[in-house]
Amino acid sequence: MKILSLLALFLLVSCLPDKGDLVYSLDGKPAVSPVEVEAVSFATIQTEILTKCTDCHRWAKTEEGIRKKLVPGNAEASKLFRSVESGFMPEDAPPLTTKELELLRGYINSLVAAP
Ligand code: HEC
């Protein structure tokens, strides 16, 4: 009987969702687990950030367009993020604030690659 209850306990524990696992990206570097990233919507990114880009970049007008400039789930590897984090963009305008950068990072890191 003791064995049975141990088995039941084991089964229960192995069914619990584990939240702490790291998700690894294709290049082998650990990416932040999606559960730890606060999801940011495209609408937020659009009003807070992309309006500063659309005068010069048509691709910044749509979600599809910016997808071509980023690596889903990996802000650091994304052209879109790097261009603003470095201060290279927006051209001829003040760099993005830390808060804006964090929003963009949150948005990109919460994206999942298309299957
Ligand atoms: C005043 C015009 C202007 C504004 C505003 C501007 N850019 Fe640019 N951007 C340029 C120019 C010019 C280049 C260099 C030419 C090229 O490579 O397309 C460039 C290049 C880039 C590139 C690299 C090339 C590419 O298209 O992949 C990225 C990424 C980029 N910009 C992102 C942004 C983002 C994000 C914003 C808004 C926060 C922004 N830009 C705002 C003019 C602008």
> 74-93: per-residue pLDDT in tens?
999 999 999 999 999 999 99
DSSP state for residue 32 in the 8-state scheme:
P
In a domain, 13, yes or no: no
| Residue range(s) defining the domain that contains residue 50 | 20-109
Q: Which of 91, 99, 101 to mutate to test the pocket of ligand 1 (most atoms within 8 A of CB)?
A: 91
In a domain, 69, yes or no: yes
In a domain, 50, yes or no: yes
In a domain, 115, yes or no: no
Q: Give residue 106's Cα distance to chain centre.
A: 5
Counting the structural domains of the chain, the total is: 1
Phi, psi of 43, rounded to the nearest 5 degrees: -55, -40
In a domain, 8, yes or no: no
Alpha-carbon distances of 11 from 1, 7, 17, 30, rounded to whole Å: 15, 6, 12, 29
In a domain, 55, yes or no: yes
Q: Which of 76, 89, 103 to mutate to test the pocket of ligand 1 (most atoms within 8 A of CB)?
A: 89
In a domain, 62, yes or no: yes
pLDDT tens per residue across span 31-67: 655 445 568 999 999 999 999 999 999 999 999 999 9
In a domain, 14, yes or no: no
Give all strands (DSSP E) within 17-110, no chain letters: 23-24, 30-31
